[in-house]
Amino acid sequence: MTANLNEKDGRTQSHAGGTQSGGIRGLSSAARWFELKPLLAIAAIGLAGFGFAQFADAVMEGETRRFDEWVLLALREPGNLADPIGPQWFEEMVRDVTALGSTIVLTLSVVIVAAYLIMTQRPQKAAFLVVAVAVGSLINRLLKLGYARPRPDIVAHGQYVTTESFPSGHSANATIVYLMLGMMLARVEPSYPVKVFIISVCALIAIMVGLSRIYLGVHWPTDVLAGWAVGGSWVLMCWYLLLRLQPSGTRR
C-alpha cells in the first residue's frame, strides 16, 4: 500500500512539473517573440533606409528618367499632353482622391482623432500620434529641400503645385497619417481579420493618393514610390516605438 501511495505521489509531482515546465516554455516563447518583433522592425527599417538611399541616387543620376517619362506620357491623350486619358468626370474624381492627401484633410484627420483620444483619457496616445505625424512630415520636407528635384516638365500639371518634387509629399504624408491611424486602431482590435481589413483600407487610400499624383502629372512616378517608401519606413519605426512603450497585451 505504501508503494502504491509513493507511485501515485510520483505521478502527481511529475504531472505538476510537466505543467509548470510547459507554462514556462510557453511564456518564454511569447517573450522571445515580443523581443523578436522589434528586432525585425529595426532590420526592416535599416533595409528600407538603404533601399531608399540607393533608389534616390539612381533618380538623381537620371537612371529612372526613361521610366518616368514613359509612365507620364502613357497617361496622356495622344497628341495632347495637357489632357489626361479618360473622361472628364474621371479626372475630377481623381482630384477628389488626391485631396485625401492634402494638408488640410490630413491635419483635420489628426486633430479630430487626437481630440477623441484626449476626451477618452488617452492623452499619451494623442501626443504620440501628433508628434509622429509632425516629425514624419518634417523629414519628408527636408528630403524635398535636400534633393530639390524639379516637377515634371513634359506634361501639363492637373493641379497647382509650388514645392519640390522628390519625394512626393502627398504620398508620404498620406502613408504616414492613414497607416498611423490604422496601426493604432488595429492594435485595440482583437479580431485578426478585422486588423487586416483596417490596415488594408488605410494602405489602399495611401496608394490611391499616390497614383492620383502621377495621373495629374504633378509628380514623376519615382517621386511617388519614394514618398511611399519614406512614409512606410517612418510608420514602421513608430510601430517599433509603440511596441516598446505599450506591451502587446494592453488595449488602451
For residues 136-159, average pLDDT? 88
Residue 29 clears pLDDT 70, i.e. is over it: no
- Give the pLDDT confidence score for residue 41 in this predicted structure: 62
Percent pLDDT > 90 in the chain is: 34
Q: How far apart are CA 38 and CA 164, in angstroms?
A: 34
For residues 74-99, average pLDDT? 89
139 assigned to some structural domain: yes
Q: How far apart are CA 238 and CA 250, in angstroms?
A: 17
- Give the pLDDT confidence score for residue 23 in this predicted structure: 41
7 assigned to some structural domain: no
- Give the pLDDT confidence score for residue 247 in this predicted structure: 53
29 assigned to some structural domain: no
Q: Residue 102: give the domain boundaries.
A: 36-245
HEC letters along 166-227: CCCHHHHHHHHHHHHHHHHHHHCCCCHHHHHHHHHHHHHHHHHHHHHHHHCCCCCHHHHHHH
For residues 190-196, average pLDDT? 86
140 vs 54 pLDDT, higher one: 140
194 assigned to some structural domain: yes
pLDDT category at 249 given cuts 50, 70, 90 is very low
Q: What is the pTM of this model?
A: 0.78
Q: How many structural domains comprise the chain?
A: 1
Residue 61 clears pLDDT 50, i.e. is over it: yes
Residue 161 clears pLDDT 90, i.e. is over it: no
45 assigned to some structural domain: yes
104 assigned to some structural domain: yes
Burial (0-12, 13-18, 19+ Cβ within 10 Å), 250 = exposed
173 assigned to some structural domain: yes
Provide the grid cell at 35. Answer: 523581443
pLDDT category at 246 given cuts 50, 70, 90 is low
Give the highest mean pLDDT range of 56-60, 78-82, 90-94, 184-188.
Answer: 90-94
102 assigned to some structural domain: yes
Percent pLDDT > 70 in the chain is: 78
For residues 129-149, average pLDDT? 92
